[in-house]
Structure formats: structure tokens, C-alpha cells
Structure 1
Amino acid sequence: MEKLGPGDPQHIGSYRLLARLGAGGMGQVYLARSERGRTVAVKLVRAELAAREEFRARFRQEVRNAQRVGGFWTAPVLDADTEAAVPWVATGYVAGPSLQRVVEHDHGPLPERSVRILAAGLAHALSNIHAAGIVHRDLKPSNVMLTIEGPRVIDFGIARALETSPGEGLTRTGTLIGSPGFMAPEQVRGDRITPACDVFCLGSVLAYAATGRLPFGSTEGGEHAVLFRIAQEDPDLSGLPEGIADVVRDCLRKDPATRPTLDAILSRTGAVDTVEQGRSRDPWLPGSLVAQLGRHAVELLEVEDPTIHGALRAATDQEARGTGDPEARGGAESAAAAAARPATAHPQPPHNGTPPEHTTAHPAYGYPQPHPQTTPYNPYTTVVTPDPTPPVYTP
């Protein structure tokens, strides 16, 4: 997470940007909050892509597809503007690191129990995706986020509808879509894509999570060598815990028709009773990762709104310099105070110790305001004479 830079927008649609989350092939991703206070991730498409009508057509379709996906195991698409000068899409923010970061930097390979629950969560997520008529095609560690409650699948950036009609130019036989190292043989060969493609990718992700290695080798020797091994050779599953080795091996079968279904994978993980309604009933990650997720949650709470911070800073600087005009300084202070208040807050009337029974509605604030009194009120010495005029309170 990084601070917004000078060239970053302050708002996208109705979302107030707070920080940068990262960048990908499609564009920049920002941490933002909605008008109701929900934390979201907003992906802003790169301007050069937005200028291409073919990309816009694909982007429209992908957003429509992703909006059909339900369930607890994915990051929901909340809002989008595919017709804006620079298109964008807002999804629910997943508070946790990616599986790739956890394995490569934060922890290393996960224990067998964690991998079992990971498999169950991903099987649920893929079931929801397939129920919407979509094959994800790009399930990989960087698209799997780990939270305290369980894994979440994100980024439907290159997902395609199963029912895409021929001739649209968006999905064609022979088009290579996916990430080398986490692709199915039929993707490599350019054959027909079915949900079984995602099952193969799931097997590769689980092998990586348990061993820290890609089952068909890294791309350091060249992507074409990896693609050849995926299509022709057996995976390297050495070091894989015995309890999950069989299900991973079955997922990685070359023939799509012989791979297990997602329901079969779910039952074979032994984690059916462990996960429920998108959540793990018990802690499913090692203690060090749970502590890291707690720190991440605290960091998220401490993210400041840069627009409020900027208004307060401007007012402070103006006060320090002095404008020679007290009304101007007061105006700056009022603007800063207004920016710092929540959108639903109302200005509070002054209070001078007058008891509440001697108040009426203030015309500007709509809140009780003291009646004029000839003698300042002292709760210890003053005897209050009831006002014959009944008080008026404005809720």
C-alpha cells in the first residue's frame, strides 16, 4: 500500500481514493471508500487501453460476467463505469495478502491442514464462478487472497463467458489466455475450454501452496519450455504431503474428462465440516500469518483520507502565515473543520452551561440554543424560574 501521488485522482466515480494498492497489466488499483464508508478496491484502466474499442468491448463483457458471480469466496463486483473516458471497476476489498506473497516472502509453503482448507475454499469459489457461466482461466497464486476467514478469489480480468458466441472476436480457438506455469494443457494447445480447465489450475495452485514450487517448473528457462512440460510431461509432486497428493495428482491429469469434479474435490479435502458460509470455523493459517493479518487490519483502519488531511494542512499553513484578514483565516478554519467532519455530522451550537430546560430551537442549527438571561446561570447558587413558554426541540 502506497500513498497517492501527485498524478493520482482524488475520486473515481463516487469513491474517495485513499492509497495505491498496486498496478497490473490492465491498470492501476486503488484503495478507496464508498459514500457509506465501505472499503473497496477500484481498478482504473490504462488510458491507452481505454482508447481501443476492442478492449472496451471485452471490458464491458467481463464486467457483466463478473457481476453475475455470487457467493462468499470471491471479491464481488460492486460498481463500474465501462463508458467513462477512462473505464473503472470497483470490487469488495479483500483484507489479506496474496498466496504468492505468503509463499514467496512472508511464510513459505503452508502446512497440510491449511492447504486442505485452501482447496475447499477454492473449490467453493470456482463452483460459484462456473454457476455464472464463466471459466476463470487464470487461477494462480497472485489471484488468491488469504484472509482470517478463508481464501478469496479475485481478478476476473480475463475471464470469459462460456456462452460467448463465435465471431465476436473476444474468445477464439487458438488464443492463448492464462499465466504460464498455471495453465491447463488444453489452454496450451488452444483447444476448447471447459470448467475442467480451472480444475487443472487448482491442482497447480495447491501444489505450489504446499511445496513452494511450480509443478511443471519455473519460467526461468523460458515460457515455451514450461508450456511443453504442461502439455506433454508429468508434474513434479515431490515433497507434497501424502494427504493431498492424490487429489492434486488427479486434478493435473492431461485429459479434462478424467479430472475430478469440484464437488468430488471438496469431499476429498476432508474440510467440508471446517468451512461454512465463506468462513473457516477454526483458525486455518499458521499463527505468524494470523498475527500478520491482524497488523494489516490495524494498518487499514489507520489509513487517512488525503482530502481531509490536505484541507487541514492548508488551513494550518494559512494560519501560520497569517493573512491579515481575521475573517479570511476564520473562513479557512471553517473549511478545514467542515472537511474533517463526517458527511452526516451537523455543526454543534455553542453551550454556556445553560440547563436544557431553558432552551429553544436555534434557527441556523436546528438544535437547542439558550434563552437570553440577565444573570449568568450557576448550578450551585442560581434559582431558576420556569419559563412559561414550553420548550421546542427539533430532532
Structure 2
Amino acid sequence: MTHLDRTPPGYRLLRLLGQGKTSQVHLALGDRGQEVALKLPHPATLGEQEAAERFGNEVRLTLKFRHPHIVRGYAGTAFGPQAYLALRYYPGGPLSETLLLAPQALGWEARLRVLADLASALTYLHALGAVHQDVKPQNVYLDPAGRAALGDLGSSYFVAQGGPVSGSPFYMAPEIYHGEASSSASDVYSLGILSYELLSGLRPFLGQSYEELMVAHLTRFPQPLSQVAPELPRAAARLIERAFAKRASDRPGADELRRALLLALGETPGDEQVEEEPAAPSAPAAPTGRHAAPGRAAQAPAPASVPTEPPTPEPSGDAATPRPDRWRLFRRRK
């Protein structure tokens, strides 16, 4: 069975946007001509319990959460042969592509704005008792106005329900390397690493293997932000550096980061105000639980189900694609 055979009613596939180990994402048109990113699991994913659970978890949580800086989900089916997820389409692709192919496209204030938006998204999730578990540039999307949204919620879960350890080695907190449970503090650590990378153009911790990265995160300290990003106000720089403290209890909260980043932008931060986005474009409504697994509540959020073995570091990418040295994945510091 091909992806074309499993296109949900009311959508027309236009072109492939990208694919991973468990799914493909297509640009598609809805029944009223609106563009959406349509995520379809690979046929093999449907037959593997862990992969199918992860996709179903992403569908449920994406449709549940509503925040301006979390990628909007329009419709989806969590389980079964017609599983899919229709999402807001971001023509520019993920933030990682911008950093690799056009690192100068984001000015200084734009970078601070992206980080403030992500801190806002995490503040919302943490207030609900949820964790994202995989904050990294590949899961961040920018709209044409430069506002950021956090997506790819397959690893997310509600802390009260529990979930398996997950993450990406370049952005994982020390306690995650130890196999401890994820928390709001581990999300903040990941955002701190992303912040350092976005503001300085350098990853704070590097390695050519999973083991080297683990040692770096557990034992080393990067060059101070005040030296690699001197434009950043000292108060914000110190707070971001606290975000990747080795001990979870030493890190600030996501809302504290949000406030500091807004101050760095010259704005007066108020309490987090979560406003609904405008109504989603009309899309064929497919109830989330239509093909739900036996015994599973159709709309109930469930913990993510992902492999528990240590994740593999990201590959260095297609050698044919030009990548500036400062963004190369495993480049060592001189």
C-alpha cells in the first residue's frame, strides 16, 4: 500500500515535503483549496506497536494543545490504516534548514523573538503538566512574519502519566543521559542549548559519537555567551547559561526565560496570555479515535511510546548540500 492509496478523503497530495523513519509529510490541498502539511505514517509504522503508538500520541496531543507557538493541528486519525495528521503548513520548513542554508537570514532581534516564542510554548505545556522532550531546531517552524512554533509532539507526554526517556543527543539534559525521567527542567535545558546555538552560531557541546556527546554534556562547560554573543544583555546571557546547568534544580523556569528574552527585546513582559489562533481552515473532520486501538479512549492523551535505548546522534547530512562550518553537526572546536 502506498501513501497515495492512503490519502484521507478530502485531501489531494501535491508534493513530498520530507520524510523520517516513521512517516512522510506531504504538501496537500484540502477540500476548500487550503494548503496543509499532511503527515502519513509509513506502512511499516502501522505494523510496529511502538512506532504506531508514537504517531497516535502525536495526533492526539497536536489536536489537543492550542497555543500560538505550537504547530496547529487541523484534523487527524490516531490509529489504523487511515491514520494521518493535517497540520499548518510552513513554507520555509524547519528552523534547522534556515540555519544550515541561510544562517544570516535571521537578524539578532529575530533570533531573540524565536527564543521568546519557544519559551512561551514551553510555559504553556509545563503549566498543563506536559513535557515536549525533543526541543531542537528540526522541530521549530517559522511563519512568514518570523514567529516560531514548536511542533513534532510524538515524544511529548503528561508527566502525571509517565513516559519513556527520549531526546536528541545534542540537546539532551544530563539527567536524560542518566536515564532519569524527563521534566520541565530538561525541556528548559534543551531550549538553553538551542538558544546558545541560535545566538552564537555554535553548538555548546560537540562530539563525534553518542558517548563523546554524553561526556560533554555531563562534564564540560561552553565558552560564556558574553564572549560569543556580546550583543546579548548580560542578564539574559546569565539566565540562558543557567538553563543548561548540570543540575535540574539550578535551571530557571520557561516563563523566567520568556520574560528575560522579552526584556532583551526592549519589551515589558506581562503574564503569559494564551490566545486562540484564528479558526483553523476547514478540513475534512475525521474523529481522532475512529481507528483507535482496542481499549484506548478516543480522545484521551497518552504517554509517548518511543524506543528506550539511547538515541543515535544525528547524521552529518548530505555531503552534496553546502553547510557553513559553524553549523556542521559534529565539528570540533579548535
TM-score in terms of structure 1 length: 0.61
User: 2:329 is matched with which residue?
Assistant: none
Which of 255, 259, 264 is 2:251 aligned to?
259
CA 1:274–1:47 in 2, change beyond 3 Å: closer, same or farther? same
Which of 139, 157, 161 is 1:160 aligned to?
157
Q: CA deviation at 1:110?
A: 4.4
Which of 21, 31, 39 is 1:43 aligned to?
39
User: 1:60 is matched with which residue?
Assistant: 56
1:231 partnered with 2:218 = yes
Aligned-partner SS, 1:192: coil
User: Deviations along 1:220-262, whole A, 9 cap, x unmatched?
Assistant: x212101211122213345123424222201111111221112
Distance 1:23 1:127 in 2: 29
Please give the residue correspondences for 1:2-81 in structure 2 after superposition, counting only pairs within 5 Å: 9=4, 11-81=7-77
Distance 1:147 1:278 in 2: 18
User: 2:174 is matched with which residue?
Assistant: 185
Distance 2:106 2:50 in 1: 41
Distance 2:213 2:59 in 1: 31
User: Deviations along 1:272-323, whole A, 9 cap, x unmatched?
Assistant: 45999899xxxxxxxxxxxxxxxxxxxxxxxxxxxxxxxxxxxxxxxxxxxx
User: 2:237 is matched with which residue?
Assistant: 245
CA 1:268–1:54 in 2, change beyond 3 Å: closer, same or farther? closer
CA 1:32–1:109 in 2, change beyond 3 Å: closer, same or farther? closer
- Partner letter of residue 15 of structure 2? A
CA 1:95–1:123 in 2, change beyond 3 Å: closer, same or farther? same
Query: Does structure 2 retain, via aligned residues, the 8 Å contact 1:135–1:159?
Result: yes
Q: CA deviation at 1:12?
A: 2.7
Distance 1:47 1:226 in 2: 33
Aligned-partner SS, 1:254: coil
Distance 2:3 2:63 in 1: 27
Query: Does structure 1 retain, via aligned residues, the 8 Å contact 2:3–2:42?
Result: no
CA 1:132–1:21 in 2, change beyond 3 Å: closer, same or farther? farther
Distance 1:75 1:213 in 2: 26
1:194 partnered with 2:183 = yes
Distance 2:151 2:43 in 1: 23
Q: CA deviation at 1:148?
A: 3.1
1:216 partnered with 2:205 = yes
Aligned-partner SS, 1:100: helix
Aligned-partner SS, 1:104: helix
Q: CA deviation at 1:97?
A: 3.4
Q: CA deviation at 1:45?
A: 0.7
Q: CA deviation at 1:94?
A: 2.2
Query: Does structure 2 retain, via aligned residues, the 8 Å contact 1:46–1:86?
Result: no
Q: CA deviation at 1:34?
A: 1.6
Aligned-partner SS, 1:31: strand
Query: Does structure 2 retain, via aligned residues, the 8 Å contact 1:104–1:212?
Result: no
Aligned-partner SS, 2:189: helix
Distance 1:215 1:196 in 2: 18
Percent sequence identity over aligned pairs: 27
Distance 1:54 1:110 in 2: 37
User: Deviations along 1:135-173, whole A, 9 cap, x unmatched?
Assistant: 1111101111122331111111222221225xxxxx24x
User: 2:285 is matched with which residue?
Assistant: none
Q: CA deviation at 1:71?
A: 1.1
TM-score in terms of structure 2 length: 0.71
Give the number of the structure with larger relative contact order, counting CA–CA contacts within 8 Å between residues 6 or more apart: 2
Distance 1:185 1:192 in 2: 11
User: Deviations along 1:42-80, whole A, 9 cap, x unmatched?
Assistant: 111111121123433343333222322111111112211
Instruction: State the number of aligned residues.
Output: 263
User: 1:203 is matched with which residue?
Assistant: 192
- Structure 2: any 5+ residue segments left out of the alignment? 276-334
- Structure 1: any 5+ residue segments left out of the alignment? 1-6, 166-170, 280-395
Aligned CA-pair RMSD: 2.6
Query: Does structure 2 retain, via aligned residues, the 8 Å contact 1:62–1:160?
Result: no
Aligned-partner SS, 2:14: strand
Runs of 4+ in 1 over 3 A off after TM superposition: 108-112, 271-279
Query: Does structure 1 retain, via aligned residues, the 8 Å contact 2:94–2:142?
Result: yes
